[in-house]
Amino acid sequence: MIEAISPTPYQSTVLAVPEKWNLLLAGGRGGGKSTAALLLILRHVEKYGAQARPLVVRETHKAVTELEEQLDQLLSTAYGKGVRHNRAEHTFRLPNGAIVECGQLDGPNAYKKFQGRSFTLLVIDEFGLVRDRRWVDLLKSNLRAPEGIPLREVRTANPGGPLHALIHQNFIAKSLAWHPYQVDGETWVNCPSTLTDNPHLDHEDYERRLKAACGNDEELFRAWVNGDWNIARGAYFGGALDERIHRLPVAWPYPVVRKAWRPFLAMDWGSSAPSVTYVCLKAPGDVGPFPKDSLILLDELATVHPNDPNLGLNWPPGKLAEAIKEMCGRWGVHPHGVGDDAYGLEDTLLNVLQRHGIALQRPRKERVAGWAAMRERLYNAKERNGLPGMWITARCRYFWQTVPFLERDSSRPEDVMTDGPDHAADAARYAVMHANVRWGTGRVSAGNY
């Protein structure tokens, strides 16, 4: 080594975790997570020499270039002029024979560059910003090494981003920090940090810049500062959706009488993406604490992969229809309502479902008006102002796993980001728009909220 490199206390703790365990460096911004990942690469190449082949990826070319320059500074500090950095190939060749590679991972074309090759350490930086985790999963198959070199994956992530819900569900909620746990047969350790773990930052100035980057999103600001994945409520429904108010117990205490509760279905279709169907009720006004015409999402059918909220189960329409009818049978509900259509089958999806005994009409799909109407109902329930509200039972697990974390579209603030798991939200929006129809006029009341 040419020069001593001093990690922060947080980074030293990360380096102390046994190499046989995968790491999720997840927490607030500015805590030194990316630098910790680069230090893991440095230790790996120093320890395993010519057999070491680390790969570090980010989603975009610009982000990869920034990380590559940081890695260049670190390796140059460690090995001096013995480092050969090929910027065209994004590789570093070190004096001991190790080769470090940086790459972009944003789709199938990017993955082809790595297909069939072997790497001994995989670092996914800014994992939460990856829009399609399939390419990350495929990269895991490239982890191959001679005997004696432990294969390891390291991911860094901040709260927010398209994969927030997935990271929270599959990693953060699995275990306490610094305690090993299992995901798909592999051992992981969560290593959180906040900006206070980084002594090299001007904390006051960095917080000021984070606040400016968040705009008016106080929830996201607190999540970025404190590294708390539970309070990163995705901004769009922040201030409107509150589990303490809007989440009802699994057990529904009232008989679902058709004339009183006017049950119907709301479905967002998906095959490779999840399909979500809700049994919905419109409150009669004289049963329970719900004002007249309040919307209740009573039960849920979500064909979602257990480890990926954006991935469906590829159910054919016939199988979906049978599951929907089974759910309706539990409540004595006639299978009718609204659902988006799909083409590319022998017939349209709604016609196929009709032949299976499910009568759905196309929903009103105005996104901005629908979100506004949904927020108004949530607001009414929160304020207890006597106007029609909206409640969701704990049976609707996919709703509660995803909707609270949906992000606002930065280029269209009145809309939700479409690259996150918005399937439950879409089905709920169809339900709201259907519930808001003024019967006899065909008009929709979107509210003023």
CATH (domain of 140): 3.40.50.300
Q: What's the pLDDT tens digit per position in 124-165?
A: 999 988 877 888 888 999 999 999 999 999 999 988 777 887
pLDDT at 375 over 60: yes
- pLDDT of 442 strictly over 70: no
The reply to whether 100 and 189 lie within a common domain is yes
Helix, strand, coil shares of the chain as percentages rounded to 5? 35, 20, 40
Task: State whether 247 and 221 are in the same domain.
Answer: no
For residue 419 the two structure tokens come to: 């690259």
- Indicate the residue type of 9: P
Answer yes or no: is pLDDT of 377 > 90.
yes
DSSP 297: E
pLDDT band at 110, cuts 50/70/90? confident
Domain CATH code at residue 250: 3.30.420.280
**208 and 259 belong to one structural domain:** no
The torsion of the CA quartet 220, 222, 227, 232, rounded to 10 degrees, works out to -40
Alpha-carbon gap, residue 277 to 3, rounded angstroms: 60
Token pair belonging to 42: 């440095």
| Per-residue model confidence (pLDDT) at position 80 | 92
Pair (183, 250) in one structural domain: no
- Mean pLDDT is lowest, of 119-133, 245-259, 271-285, for 119-133
* Co-location of 200 and 298 in the same domain: no
DSSP character at residue 263: -
CA–CA gap between residue 227 and residue 229 (Å, rounded): 6
Distance of alpha carbon 197 from alpha carbon 363, whole angstroms? 49
CA-nearest of 19, 20, 75 to 45 is 75
Q: Is residue 235 part of a domain?
A: no
pLDDT at 343: 61
- Using CB atoms within 10 A of its CB, is residue 403 exposed (0-12), middle (13-18) or buried (19+)? buried
Q: Please check whether residue 280 is in contact with residue 264, taking contact to mean a CB–CB distance below 8 angstroms.
A: yes
Confidence of residue 50 (pLDDT cuts 50, 70, 90): very high
Indicate whether 411 belongs to any domain. Answer: yes
The closest alpha carbon to 425, from 446, 396, 399, 447, belongs to 399
pLDDT at residue 134, rounded to an integer:
82
Candidates 106, 103, 132; CA nearest to 119 is: 103
CA 380 and chain centroid, separation: 27
Amino acid found at 50: A
Say what the pLDDT of residue 449 is: 33
Same domain, 184 and 272: no
Inter-CA distances, 182 with 4, 21, 420, Å = 35, 10, 25
pLDDT in tens, 170-200: 898 888 899 999 998 999 999 999 888 888 8
Percent of the chain at pLDDT > 70 equals 92
Q: Which two tokens stand for residue 236?
A: 């769009």
Structural domain that includes position 368: 243-444
Question: At residue 183, what are phi and psi to the nearest 5 degrees?
Answer: -135, 115
- Shared domain for 181 and 81, answered yes or no, is yes
- Asked whether residue 28 falls in the same domain as residue 82, the answer is yes
- Which structure tokens are listed for 84? 């050969």
**CB–CB of 158/27 below 8 Å?**
yes
- Say if 388 falls within a structural domain: yes
pLDDT recorded at residue 440: 42
Question: Residue 306's pLDDT is what?
Answer: 85
**pLDDT (tens digit per residue) in 295-349:** 999 999 999 988 788 889 999 999 999 999 999 999 999 999 999 987 655 678 9
Domain boundary among 196, 226, 256: 226
pLDDT at 216 over 60: no
What are the counts of helices (DSSP H) followed by strands (DSSP E) for the chain? 15, 22
Which pLDDT score is estimated for 280? 98
Q: Where are the beta strands (DSSP E) in 70-151?
A: 84-86, 91-93, 99-104, 121-124
Same structural domain, 107 and 215: yes
Q: How far is residue 230 from each of residues 140, 167, 223, 245, 390, measured CA to CA in Å?
A: 28, 11, 8, 16, 22
Domain contains 75: yes
User: What are 92's two structure tokens?
Assistant: 């570093």
Q: Is residue 104 part of a domain?
A: yes
DSSP per residue over 101-112, as a string? EEEE-SSHHHHH
Q: Which of 195, 226, 257 is the last residue of a domain?
A: 226
163 within a domain of the structure (yes/no): yes
Are 436 and 323 found together in one domain? yes
Q: Is residue 3 part of a domain?
A: no
- Number of domains, the chain: 2
Pick from 226, 259, 292: which residue ends a domain?
226
- Tokens encoding 73: 């500074």
Residue 121, pLDDT above cutoff 70: yes
pLDDT at 419 over 80: no
**How far is residue 300's CA from residue 323's CA, in Å, rounded to a whole number?**
11
Q: Where are the alpha helices (H) located in 2-112, listed in sequence order?
A: 9-16, 33-48, 61-79, 108-112
Q: What is the mean pLDDT of the chain?
A: 88
213 shares a domain with 144: yes
- Are 360 and 317 part of one and the same domain? yes
- Specify if 418 maps to a domain: yes
Rounded Cα distance, 441 and 443, in Å: 5
214-228, 254-268, 275-289, range with the lowest pLDDT = 214-228
Q: Can you give the pLDDT at residue 213?
A: 74
